[in-house]
């Protein structure tokens, strides 16, 4: 006899047993899971106990989304016929080079680091390329290895305290850029290593904007790890806001913008919890912060701006599982005014989630096509988009099924 938790990947566990084990590992109660998939707690219990048959594909996908299951076979147990990655996209061809640059530990410096101004200029170019290129991961992945090495070297060779703080700020921003590249790739440990290094470098820089950006990304990493980590996400967000808010009267636009981005992140996590009041209260706070920024301002890392707040409203409504409100917010939000291609594509994906919630699968697929046009590499790595497309590949309507299959082929959804 043993009290150890069974391995959900071992046979012959039934679907319900796998669901229960994965739910418990995520720290989600039956009540919470039931709310996320719009069913009753008793339904969840009966599925887990084997009293109900394995649900339909669309429900399996909803469960996978709620549990943030990265590989559908972890839930279904089917490893031989078809393997489907949901919340992990394919490993990018540039991933190995970025991983090597992060993992490298150079002890001796055999050359002089580039000037800080040079590293800053390259960072600016990299952020601009990320926002403007449809293949943004390819562009950023090609720039990161040299940027990581040079920024690390600049910290080690700094000769004064101010120089070292400035170099740490640049290094933290390089790690922030790395997190965008690594997100949703099959290297979670590497992503966390980069996030932790970014936070440490930001703290050493003592620069408010750098600290805010590193906290913004770390809060997202915690939240994307599942409900058991929501408190950690909130702790990072609220502590950073307490640090930044007293500085706002004399702060730069960038500091005010990262404060607004963090305010929205607090609302985003609340929406994931299903707390509508807190979610919309933080959205209102972020909206006021955005309206106080110049009309054409656009934060180079987070995309925070006046224009993006309507897109954020769609996200809140979707996370609160309100199809009607999601569609209403989607109708108000104009993606064309968002200058960043990946952020515009992400907004289209959120709109598609809203249409799906509202029972408009044709509109959802059409909107995902628009997301693909804006930035193919965004939809290719987005778990929500992949779930919708996969579900629609088995739609009863032939035209929907054909359109979904075409999109699934373009984004490389199914792998043998």
Its sign, for the CA torsion 28, 238, 297, 205, is: negative
Q: Please give the Cα distance from 316 to 266 (Å, whole number).
A: 11
Phi and psi at 290, nearest 5°, equal: -65, -40
Q: Please give the Cα distance from 274 to 328 (Å, whole number).
A: 19
| pLDDT for the residue numbered 318 | 94
Tokens 């697929």 locate to: 365
| pLDDT for the residue numbered 80 | 44
Ramachandran bin of 17, using left for φ above 0, alpha for ψ from -120 to 50, beta for the remaining angles: alpha
For the beta carbon of residue 334, count every other beta carbon within 10 angstroms. Answer: 11
Cβ atoms 263, 289 nearer than 8 A: yes
* Structure tokens given for 55: 């649900």
Cβ atoms 367, 355 nearer than 8 A: yes
Cβ atoms 220, 198 nearer than 8 A: no
Q: Quick: pLDDT tens for 66-121.
A: 887 767 777 887 654 445 555 666 789 999 999 999 998 766 667 888 988 899 99
| pLDDT for the residue numbered 79 | 53
* Class of residue 114 by CB neighbours under 10 A (exposed 0-12, middle 13-18, buried 19+): middle
For the beta carbon of residue 234, count every other beta carbon within 10 angstroms. Answer: 18
Q: Which of 112, 94, 227 is nearest to 158 (CA)?
A: 112
For the beta carbon of residue 106, count every other beta carbon within 10 angstroms. Answer: 10
Direct distance between the N- and C-terminal alpha carbons of the chain, in angstroms, rounded to an integer: 37
* Structure tokens given for 101: 């640059």
Q: Please give the Cα distance from 290 to 349 (Å, whole number).
A: 23
Which residues of the chain have a pLDDT value below 50? 1-6, 8-11, 80-82, 416
Q: Which of 213, 210, 212, 234 is nearest to 222 (CA)?
A: 234
Cβ atoms 308, 343 nearer than 8 A: yes
Fold of the 15-84 domain: 434 Repressor (Amino-terminal Domain) (1.10.260)
| pLDDT for the residue numbered 106 | 67
Q: Please give the Cα distance from 89 to 359 (Å, whole number).
A: 26
Map out the domains of the chain as residue ranges. 15-84, 90-206
Q: Please give the Cα distance from 359 to 80 (Å, whole number).
A: 32
| pLDDT for the residue numbered 383 | 86
Give the 3-state secondary structure of residue 55: coil
| pLDDT for the residue numbered 88 | 63
| pLDDT for the residue numbered 11 | 46
Alpha helices in 113-160, H assignment, sequence order: 116-132, 136-157
Output the CA torsion 233→240→257→245 (10° steps): 140
Strands 83-84 and 414-415: antiparallel
Q: Please give the Cα distance from 128 to 397 (Å, whole number).
A: 41
Cα 108 to its chain centre, rounded Å, is: 36
| pLDDT for the residue numbered 27 | 80
Helical axes 276-291 vs 253-273, angle rounded to 10°: 160
415 strand-pairing partners? 83
Cβ atoms 371, 378 nearer than 8 A: yes
């Amino acid at each position: 006899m043993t009290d150890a938790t069974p391995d959900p990947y071992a046979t012959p566990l039934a679907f319900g047993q796998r669901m229960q084990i994965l739910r418990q590992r995520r720290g989600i109660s039956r009540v919470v899971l039931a709310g996320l998939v719009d069913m009753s707690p008793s339904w969840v219990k009966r599925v887990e106990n084997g009293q109900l048959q394995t649900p339909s594909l669309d429900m399996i996908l909803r469960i996978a989304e709620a549990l943030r299951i990265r590989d559908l076979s972890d839930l279904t147990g089917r490893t031989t016929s078809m393997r489907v990655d949901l919340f992990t996209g394919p490993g990018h061809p540039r991933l190995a080079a970025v991983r090597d640059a992060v993992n490298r530990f150079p002890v001796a410096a055999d050359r002089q680091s580039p000037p800080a101004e040079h590293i800053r200029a390259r960072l600016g170019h990299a952020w601009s390329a990320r926002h403007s290129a449809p293949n943004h991961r390819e562009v950023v992945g090609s720039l990161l290895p040299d940027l990581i090495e040079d920024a690390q070297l600049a910290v080690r060779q700094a000769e004064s305290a101010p120089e070292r703080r400035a170099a740490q700020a640049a290094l933290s921003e390089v790690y922030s850029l790395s997190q965008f590249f690594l997100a949703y790739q099959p290297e979670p440990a590497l992503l966390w290593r980069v996030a932790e290094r970014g936070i440490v470098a930001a703290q050493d820089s003592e620069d408010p904007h750098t600290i805010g950006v590193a906290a913004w990304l770390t809060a997202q990493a915690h939240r994307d790890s599942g409900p058991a980590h929501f408190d950690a996400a909130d702790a990072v967000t609220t502590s950073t806001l307490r640090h930044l808010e007293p500085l706002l009267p004399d702060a730069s636009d960038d500091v005010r913008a990262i404060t607004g981005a963090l305010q929205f992140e607090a609302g985003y996590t609340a929406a994931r919890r299903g707390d509508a009041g807190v979610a919309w209260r933080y959205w209102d706070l972020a909206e006021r912060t955005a309206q106080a920024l110049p009309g054409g301002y656009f934060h180079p890392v987070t995309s925070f701006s006046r224009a993006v707040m309507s897109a954020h409203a769609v996200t809140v409504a979707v996370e609160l599982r309100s199809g009607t409100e999601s569609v209403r917010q989607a109708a108000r939000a104009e993606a064309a005014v968002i200058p960043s291609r990946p952020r515009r594509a992400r907004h289209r994906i959120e709109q598609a989630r809203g249409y799906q919630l509202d029972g408009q699968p044709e509109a959802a697929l059409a909107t995902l096509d628009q997301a693909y046009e804006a930035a193919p590499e965004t939809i290719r790595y987005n778990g929500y988009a992949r779930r919708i497309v996969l579900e629609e590949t088995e739609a009863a309507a032939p035209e929907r099924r054909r359109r979904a299959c075409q999109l699934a082929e373009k984004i490389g959804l199914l792998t043998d």
